Amino acid sequence: MYKLLVVDDEYEIRNGLCKFFPWNEIGFEVIGQAENGKTAFDFLQKNLTDVVLCDIMMPVMSGLDLAKLISTAKLKIRVIFFSGHKDFEYAQKALEFGVKSYILKSTNYNELIRVFSNIKNELDEENPVTVPTVIPENGMNFNEKIISIIKNYAQEHYQDVTLEDLTKQVHMNPDYISKFFKQKTGQNFSDFLIEVRMNKAADILKDVNYKTYEVSDIVGYSNSSNFTRTFKSYFGMSPREYRNQKT
């Protein structure tokens, strides 16, 4: 496995990249995290590292300054910039310091996979022994893991979950989450959320102490008429009819 250091001053982004991206599946092992260029350079001087995935704009020491230090010290480390700034000047300076790629944070995971697959191929060519990849112990591949996270979060926060909420969980932009979910499950996320809410409502309706409008509010519908209409469309009967049938 090739050794990777992730550097970003935003904890959620840094932790999300380390935790949710399928590094092991494409031949990389995250051996550390750093919140700025200085901490990262200190780490690199003490730990054998193949690749650094690095933000540009960070306090204490920027990604550009880190790349310059790596270049000046002639460390055999590939640097990939992962930035929220689409700026030609940054890209030009990145090339000066030997940065291999410049990826925008707004991109989707497929671009990260493409870039790091290319980096792995380059490293493989430089090393006579092929570095094996590792199959996740739980048997879930990357796509299955992301879908599982999305579904579990929606089932726990069904009242008010939004695609924007999910970006914090899987670090994809909202539009891509919607397309990704549809592509991998064959179901729109909005339809999945309705399914979760309706099944929850059906369970609650078995308790006659709850009024229909209370059930509506519990499962995330502020308008009880909308709830009743959706429930009837889903189950083929009104909440009242469903309750009478089940009790």
* pLDDT the model gives residue 81: 87
Phi, psi of 90 (to 5 degrees): -60, -45
* pLDDT the model gives residue 131: 44
* pLDDT the model gives residue 213: 94
Question: Per the confidence metrics, is the pTM higher than 0.95?
Answer: no
* Neighbour-count burial for 100-112, b at 16+ CB within 10 Å, e otherwise: bbbbebeeebeeb
* pLDDT the model gives residue 237: 95
- β-bridge mates for residue 52, sequence order: 5, 79
- Look up residue 95 and give its amino acid: L
* pLDDT the model gives residue 109: 74
- Can you read off the two tokens belonging to residue 166? 């999910």
The single residue listed with the structure tokens 């704009």 is 57
* pLDDT the model gives residue 95: 65
- β-bridge mates for residue 213, sequence order: none
SS3 103: strand
Sign of CA dihedral 113, 119, 121, 127: negative
Q: What is the Cα–Cα distance from 25 to 32, expressed in whole angstroms?
A: 18
* pLDDT the model gives residue 60: 94
* pLDDT the model gives residue 132: 47
* pLDDT the model gives residue 130: 46
Q: What is the Cα–Cα distance from 28 to 113, expressed in whole angstroms?
A: 11
Q: Domains plus CATH for the chain? A: 2-126 (3.40.50.2300), 142-246 (1.10.10.60)
Residue spans of the chain under pLDDT 50:
130-135
